[in-house]
Chains A and B, each alone.
Chain A
Amino acid sequence: MTPDVADTIAAIATARGASRRGVVRLSGPRAVSIAHLLCGATLEGNSPRRFADQTLRIELAGRSHELPADLFVWPDERSYTRQPAVEFHTLGSPPVLDAVVRACLAAGARLAEPGEFTLRALLGGRIDLTQAEAVLSVIDARSDERLEAALEQLAGGLSTPLHRLRVDLLGLLADLEAGLDFVEEEDIRFVEADELRRRLAAAAKLVDETASQIAERDDAQRLPLVAIIGPPNVGKSRLFNVLVERYGVESQRTQAIVADAAGVTRDTLAAVIEINGLRCALIDTAGDDETAAIDAIDRVARDRLTAVVRDADLLVECRRAGPAPLTTLVDRLSVATMVDASAATMSEGWLATSAATGQGVAELAETIASRLAESSHGTLAATADRCRTGLTQAAGALARALDAVDIGDELVSLELREALDGLGRVVGEVVTDEVLGEIFGKFCIGK
């Protein structure tokens, strides 16, 4: 989606993860009217104002809820983005914030692209390029791979059904376009109305199934997962205990979510901790000794471990500090344990801790919190939003396409393109050349 400042955009403005307070931000010409739709209150006024103790109507887990919120309203260009803007300050729980964003989208806003608020501030002259640089630097090439990885993790794997849907719709579009553009050619098999209806209905069904797959397995509701891993007997469990002792939260519900999400049972310990208002699930894994002979029970444990490692948002890899320096590890937080032992040396890039003396534990907690803030958990939730928006657009377009079957193929084609556009937000845009390639591959064109 190309950035158009005439769109009203919405997004969660605070860091991902469970915290006490969260902010959803809206910016664009319709910001104030959308906020009005959500809270029902009149938000008039010529200057920036706070509207405290408002009630937002949101949908959560299929039910309507009333959510207390403070609204900050900028009716004109005196906002951060230099255009009408609204902030909803409310509970910090991710599912609640997601529901607020969804309500904004349903009222006509568009999901903000990464860096888009900053871009508007920059275009409005609120900040300069140097100030925007840090944000703009995250809008880079890796986003495609990250998106694909997130799709794979989401709701038990969305990549395959979405790509299949895209292939189906592209094939259908190519068949339709062939009948429109190559009427004179011998080889074209025109798509009859009945077949067209059947294929559109099949696509609509797949869209619905994928959408409910997301709804059922709402990954945004789960807490970020932090797994402590490493060889046996390096002090993982002692570190786990110290962290839970200092940061643990009592909560039956979250305990259950942790156990469910990680697929962990008796052989893995889990607890919910909260660091600086950010909640996460901490998992202590059984140490995996790759050199030992394994029996059936070990195999099950090892499979569980593999699952935990795959699903974790952050891996904390523990090694016992010894006389030799440790080699740096990538993609994880490296923690040297038992640094109080006599033979321990410091290793570059390793966080030195001791469960016995408490050394480095606070620093470890801080690091976990800051790493989580930038981890894939945010990408996951944002990708889920993107999928939902895209699938909603596709579903609407396919319904209209079915209605258009009796009117004309050129109108069905228009709706199909819109459906593909919706999917294009997550699985790649369809370009004309791709459609033509399908046609030339399938039919013998050439009068």
Chain B
Amino acid sequence: MTEVTYDYDVVVIGAGHAGTEAALAAARMGARTALLTTNLDTVGQMSCNPAIGGVGKGQIVREIDALGGAMGRAIDATGLQFRMLNCRKGPAMHSPRAQADKRLYQAEIKRIVEEQENLELRQEGVEELLVREGDRETEPPLVPGPSSPIPSIAGVRVRGGATYRAPTVVLTTGTFLQALMHTGEAKTAGGRAGEGTSAGISGALHRLGIRLERFKTGTPPRLNGRTIDYTACDLQPGDDAPQPFSFLTDELTQSQLPCHVTYTTPAVHDLIRANLERAPMYSGQINSSGPRYCPSIEDKVVRFADKQQHQLFLEPEGRNTREVYVNGVSTSLPRDVQDAMFRLIPGCERAQIMRYGYAVEYDYAPPDQLQPTLESKRVAGLFFAGQINGTTGYEEAGAQGLVAGANAALKVADREPLVLGRDEAYIGVLIDDLVTCGVDEPYRMFTSRAEYRLLLRQDNADRRLTPLAARCGLASAQREARLRAKLGQVDRVAHLLETVRYQGRSLSEQLRRPEVDWTAALAMAPAEAAAELAGAPADAVEQAIIDARYVGYVARQQTEVDRQRRLAEKRIPATFDYARITHLRHEAREKLARVQPTNLAQASRISGVTPADITLLMAHLGGGRRRSTADPSV
């Protein structure tokens, strides 16, 4: 039997939100890329809520878009409700969120993938990871010891005996590793309702010496909208002037659908309490930890026992379906309790459940085993992205996918890696948190995780990232040209704001006073300048106003950014032996040795590493090169 082999630069396993962005990024940069999925009909599937964005997450989508990714364009094309959250707060807090037509979104992502040059999408089940041994690819041998040499990835073998050879592989298997679903006492193997699990990859990772741990997450039930009485619920409409996610989208023209809001009642809480011992989280059937910010309804009832009601959001899953996602009631209670629960919820008394809620337990690979490029420290050329790194959320997954795919392509081309700073992007914060601190619950982005929140805004993602993306081949010429045009307009408006004065103060200074808005500022300008300002494009005006208002704060944040940059310039060699620093505390030594930070700034962010530890480390990294005998005293 002759075995079929294919040759690629980058092989991506899994075509979810991480996998598609990874494959698209690698292909955009010119790498010959294969995207392998067990099911072509679930490319870009929204396994949980039918929504994109939110506070912190919306900013990430804008960044993915600024880097040439697909997520923003796909949601603009298929969204059915758009809202800008936190509108009444300052511009750094504005966060776009949209409800998606789930099926259309998925189809749109698949189409974008299909149309990408250099990219081949294939339905394949990956059974084994291959490593290089001399001239040939082979299955990984037994588990290596801590001092074994680092193997290189060589490709993957798929069901049916074919081999994909590639110097880089991006693993984005989501919740599918050793996945186990729970609904009450019932357990089913599989990472998503109706689908199976990827067992072979877990074994291969284990043999490569990669540590795996377990998390749990859950989803709520879905209802048939025909059986919901919406008149008993509150209405939640979209924005009147919806704003797009993609910097390439000029305007959103589709009609918008509303969401609805209802509440649990004390009777629902009593029912849940009476059935707690049948919930896997409480019966001991599930031991792994879930996210604190996305508790199941049983968790909410137990931990916040004094609350009389919890809000439930009824979100349509699409224009051509009546299926409704019930946000806020994630649960793994048994079916009969889920049915009984809705009988007691206003508006849902007669609602039919179309899919029951469930909890899923899955393997993830603790991300402190990764370099800042998302390449494994244990296997050269093997990249990890998405939920396998212990994160949640489509946005977090897509962001990692894009960075991992780009770095795989850069590695093949032997070019400088792409590592975004914490001062450059939420994506930089995300990946730095993952590889520096690891995770102890599924990781979700919050804006409070970003120390330079005022710099990382949804409105300036293109200014922050598109030039960088253009340099490494991620962003198209069209995107770059649009940014250049916009920046030219911003400069012109900013120039006018700086030079036009009113009562001794420039318009910039005027705008810094809370009571002066754009209209008031225009009234202060002489006719000619006022006309030019009034005619400037809205996005350029918005940028210039934000720049003017935040300028003092941004300068202060920049001082701290510069400080961290200087610290980041102090590189730590991968081979550095922390045992050499005799005075280093045991805890610090252990953590530094595990994380292997690449520079002093990263080292200083490891929890439990103190400034005193950094001082010692700095001394041992930098000292003693130019010993002088000069006497310092005078």
State the A residues within 8 Å of B (CB).
1-6, 48, 50, 72, 78-80, 113-116, 119, 121-129, 132, 136-137, 139-141, 143, 177, 180-187, 406-411, 413-414, 417, 431-433, 435-436, 440, 444-447
Contact = CB atoms under 8 A, between A and B. Distances in A.
B233 interface: no
Given A3-B614, A446-B294, A122 B619 contact: yes
A368 to B, nearest CB: 27
Interface of B: 54-56, 85-86, 89-90, 92-93, 95, 97, 292-295, 299-300, 303-304, 307, 310-311, 313, 327-328, 330, 446-449, 451, 453-454, 514, 553, 557, 563, 566-567, 583, 585, 600, 604, 607, 611-612, 614-616, 618-620, 622-628, 630, 632-634
B93 A180 contact: yes
Contacts of A127: 623, 627-628
10 contacts: A50-B634, A127-B627, A181-B56, A181-B448, A182-B293, A187-B304, A187-B307, A410-B93, A413-B448, A435-B448
A123 B616 CA distance: 11
B615 A181 contact: no
A268 to B, nearest CB: 39
A211 B624 CA distance: 41
Contacts of A78: 630
Given A132-B623, A177-B448, A183-B85, A411 B303 contact: no
Nearest to B626: A125
Nearest to A185: B311
Given A114-B612, A123-B623, A187-B307, A407 B328 contact: no
Nearest to B448: A177
Contact of A447 (B327, B563, B620): B327
Contacts of B453: 410, 414
A413 B451 CA distance: 11
Interface of A is mostly: loop
Nearest to A87: B634
Contacts of B330: 446
A446 B313 CA distance: 11
A110 to B, nearest CB: 11
Q: In the complex, which of the residues B85, B95, B615 has the most CB atoms of chain A within 10 Å of its own CB atom? A: B615
Contact of A407 (B514, B612, B625): B514
The 9 lowest CB-CB distance pairs between A and B, nearest first, are A125-B626, A80-B632, A186-B311, A408-B90, A122-B623, A128-B624, A440-B292, A444-B304, A141-B585
Contact of B566 (A4, A128, A409): A4
B303 A123 contact: no
A6 B563 contact: yes
Contact of B293 (A125, A128, A432, A440): A440
A444 B306 CA distance: 11
B86 A183 contact: yes
B447 A181 contact: yes
Given A129-B624, A181-B447, 8 more contacts: A4-B567, A122-B622, A123-B619, A123-B623, A136-B619, A410-B90, A411-B90, A417-B451
B634 A6 contact: no
A3 B618 contact: yes
A183 B88 CA distance: 11
Nearest to B612: A139
Q: In the complex, which of the residues A141, A181, A431, A435 has the most CB atoms of chain B within 10 Å of its own CB atom? A: A181
A113 B612 contact: yes
A137 B583 contact: yes
B612 A140 contact: yes
Given A411-B553, A431-B607, A2 B567 contact: yes
A186 B330 CA distance: 15
Q: In the complex, which of the residues B330, B514, B607, B611 has the most CB atoms of chain A within 10 Å of its own CB atom? A: B611
Nearest to B556: A414
A137 B620 CA distance: 12
Contacts of B514: 406-407
B447 A409 contact: no
A406 B447 CA distance: 21
Contacts of B567: 2, 4
B126 to A, nearest CB: 34
Contacts of A444: 295, 300, 303-304, 307, 310
A411 B90 CA distance: 8
Contacts of B303: 444
A447 B626 contact: no
B615 A128 contact: no
A134 to B, nearest CB: 10
Given A181-B448, A446-B294, A3 B90 contact: no
A436 B444 CA distance: 11
B443 to A, nearest CB: 11
Contacts of A413: 448
B313 A447 contact: yes
Contacts of B607: 431, 433
Contact of B622 (A123, A136, A137, A185): A123
Contacts of B622: 122-123
A140 B616 CA distance: 9
Contacts of B307: 187, 444
B585 A140 contact: yes
B85 A432 contact: no
A119 B86 contact: no
Contacts of A445: 292-295
Contact of B583 (A2, A128, A139, A432): A139
Contacts of A122: 619, 622-624
B619 A2 contact: no
A50 B311 CA distance: 74
Contact of A113 (B447, B615, B623): B615
Nearest to B622: A123
Nearest to A177: B448
B328 to A, nearest CB: 5
Given A181-B448, A435-B448, A3 B615 contact: yes
A406 B89 CA distance: 11
A90 to B, nearest CB: 16
B458 to A, nearest CB: 13
A432 B300 CA distance: 23
A177 B293 CA distance: 14
Contacts of A411: 90, 454, 553
A418 to B, nearest CB: 9
B632 A79 contact: yes
Contacts of A50: 634
A410 B554 CA distance: 12
B89 A128 contact: no
A95 to B, nearest CB: 26
Nearest to B327: A447
Given A3-B611, A140-B583, A446-B328, A414 B619 contact: no
Nearest to B97: A184
Given A123-B622, A128-B627, A181-B446, A186 B310 contact: yes
Contacts of A181: 55-56, 446-448
Given A410-B454, A446-B328, A184 B612 contact: no
A5 B615 CA distance: 11
Contacts of A1: 611
A5 B89 CA distance: 38
Contacts of A177: 446, 448
Nearest to A445: B293
B623 A129 contact: yes
Contacts of A114: 612
Given A122-B622, A132-B619, A446-B300, A2 B611 contact: yes
Contact of B448 (A5, A124, A180, A447): A180
A141 B626 CA distance: 29
Contacts of A6: 563, 566
B612 A143 contact: yes
Contacts of B614: 2-3
B333 to A, nearest CB: 16
Q: In the complex, which of the residues B294, B614, B618, B620 has the most CB atoms of chain A within 10 Å of its own CB atom? A: B618
Contacts of A2: 563, 567, 600, 604, 611, 614
Nearest to B429: A432
